Structure formats: structure tokens, C-alpha cells
Amino acid sequence: MSTSPPIGKPSFDLALQAALQAAGPQHYPAGALYVVATPIGNLADITLRALHVLALADAIACEDTRHTAPLLRAYGLDGKPLIALHEHNEAEAAQGVIARLQAGQRVACVSDAGTPAVSDPGARLAAAC
């Protein structure tokens, strides 16, 4: 008896359930910015905590909405507001994110791959927060 998933589109339903069980009991304050690492090349390289935070977030600030939307769709987390946050608008977009945080929303910040850091959009946002 095989327990392998069928070949085709991967389903992350079990991973989302595991993420809720593993990370759900932790405290995730409202009105907070969450910096979330995304996979570099392989969808399976996401952590359970990252999945949980992306599911919990009210909005997602991202380097390129055209890249992040399919990523979230693959995990079954599409439909959340995406906030474009890139090198050409980061200062202005940061103010919009801060307004959401002040309103009590949880905002996840992602880059196209890896962890938002000094060389990626997100550094100004983190500093502003």
C-alpha cells in the first residue's frame, strides 16, 4: 500500500494542518510585522512556521506580486491582499504597511526567494517598524 501522493499538482493540505498543530499554539500578536523566508526553487523547502504565519497574516507585503501570488496559490493560501514592496516604492509602501499594523493587522513580508534582508526589499520596512 503506497502512501505517496498522486503525481500532478502538489497539495500542501497536510503541511498546513501540520503547521497549525506545530506553530498554532505559539503567540502571534496582532499589529505585528512577520518577516517570512520563502523557498528558493523548491516549494517543499518552506517551514511549517512560515506556512502558519502566511495563513495567519491579514496581508502580505512582497517584492513582486506576480511571483508571490502563484507561490501562495500553490500552498492554498491565495486570496490575501498583496502589497507590492520593491526598491522603487519601498519607502511609500512601508507607510501603508505601518498603517495596517497600527490598525491591528498582521502583515507578513516576503521577498521573491529567501529571507527579506539588507539587499532585498523589506530592510526599510523593518527599520521603519
- Beta strands 59-62 and 107-110 are parallel
> Structural domain boundaries of the chain?
31-128
pLDDT band at 9 (very low <50, low <70, confident <90, very high): low
- Residue 119: per-residue pLDDT: 63
Statement: residue 22 has pLDDT above 90 = yes
Q: Percentages helix, strand, coil for the chain, rounded to the nearest 5? A: 40, 10, 45
> Rounded to whole angstroms, how far apart are CA atoms 45 and 41?
8
- Residue 41: per-residue pLDDT: 82
What is the grid cell recorded at 105?
Answer: 493587522
- Residue 7: per-residue pLDDT: 52
What is the grid cell recorded at 95?
Answer: 507607510
- In tens, the pLDDT along 25-40 reads 999 999 999 999 999 8
pLDDT band at 4 (very low <50, low <70, confident <90, very high): low
What is the grid cell recorded at 10?
Answer: 502538489
Of residues 50 and 10, more confidently modeled: 50
Task: Answer for the pair 63, 125: CB distance below 8 angstroms, yes or no.
Answer: no
CATH code for 31-128? 3.40.1010.10
Q: Among 13-17, 97-101, 122-126, which range has the highest average pLDDT? A: 97-101
